[in-house]
């Protein structure tokens, strides 16, 4: 089996490890499902994605890292 053959990932448990693994898998393009016995943990994981992604865009795309590396950096204010 090659990595290209993998399309779907299931993560059991949305705790410290699971919610990060789930997000990283999704960001890498895999169809990802994360489950947990705790609805509270699932909600926390879902809320984390919303707060985390905005920060990553700020850091990598608009921020200093993006400007230094020229990886995906953009700025709406420059002509």
Ligand X SMILES: NC(=O)c1ccc[n+]([C@@H]2O[C@H](COP(=O)([O-])OP(=O)(O)OC[C@H]3O[C@@H](n4cnc5c(N)ncnc54)[C@H](O)[C@@H]3O)[C@@H](O)[C@H]2O)c1
Interface with ligand X (CB under 6 A) = 12-18, 35-38, 41
In which residue are the tokens 């990886």 written? Answer: 71
Choice between 13 and 63, CB closer to ligand X: 13
Which single residue brings its beta carbon nearest to ligand X? 15
> Among 9, 1, 11, which residue's Cα sits nearest to residue 41?
11
To ligand X, the closest distance from the beta carbon of 5 in angstroms equals 25
To ligand X, the closest distance from the beta carbon of 39 in angstroms equals 10
H-type alpha helices, the chain: 18-27, 39-56, 64-69
Contact 3, 26 (CB under 8 A): no
Choice between 36 and 66, CB closer to ligand X: 36
């Amino acid at each position: 089996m090659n990595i290209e053959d993998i399309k779907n990932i299931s993560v059991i448990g949305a705790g410290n490890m699971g919610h990060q693994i789930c997000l990283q898998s999704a960001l890498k393009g895999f169809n990802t499902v994360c489950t947990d016995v705790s609805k509270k943990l699932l909600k926390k994981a879902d809320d984390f994605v919303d707060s985390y992604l905005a920060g990553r865009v700020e850091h990598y795309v608009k921020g200093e890292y993006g400007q230094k590396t020229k990886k995906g950096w953009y700025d709406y204010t420059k002509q």
